[in-house]
Amino acid sequence: VGANVSGTDIISIESNTGPTSESSFVWVYNDASVVSSVSPSSGQVGTLVTITGQRLLGGGTSIVSVTLNGVEARVISSGPTSVLVAARSSIAGLGHVVVTSDTGAFGIKENAWEYVSSGVISSFVPAS
């Protein structure tokens, strides 16, 4: 079954001794997951990030992991077209967003999330 094809197909198994077995409707090819947008596109630990797309569940029932620039985020809620996650702590840098479902299907948006450095408070006014 080629890319961008949905539906069922016939599975053929041929042994090295010659017999062949065929069965239909046992294999379903799902179209690939697509990550369309990531909002906001940058943040730090605790930032809530909404990821939208198509077929994010990849034929399954749940999202098992989301990584932001290689760091696993905490999944708060998920569905076939959106996922809400909380960013975990990481060093600053730009990288991919990867959404993986319980079927192993995944969608990637390249260079879609940037961890930014945490701010530093240098003084308070008034001091007391």
Pairing relation of β-strands 74-78 and 42-43?
unpaired
Opening angle at CA 110, ends 109 and 112, nearest 5: 75
Q: What pLDDT score does 33 carry?
A: 94
Q: What pLDDT score does 16 carry?
A: 81
Q: What pLDDT score does 15 carry?
A: 78
Tracing tokens 């947008």 back to the chain, one arrives at: 37
Tracing tokens 């697509």 back to the chain, one arrives at: 34
Residues 17-46 have pLDDT tens digits of 877 776 665 566 778 899 999 999 999 999
Rounded to two decimals, the pTM is 0.77
Q: What pLDDT score does 18 carry?
A: 75
Identify the segments of the chain with pLDDT beneath 50: 1-4
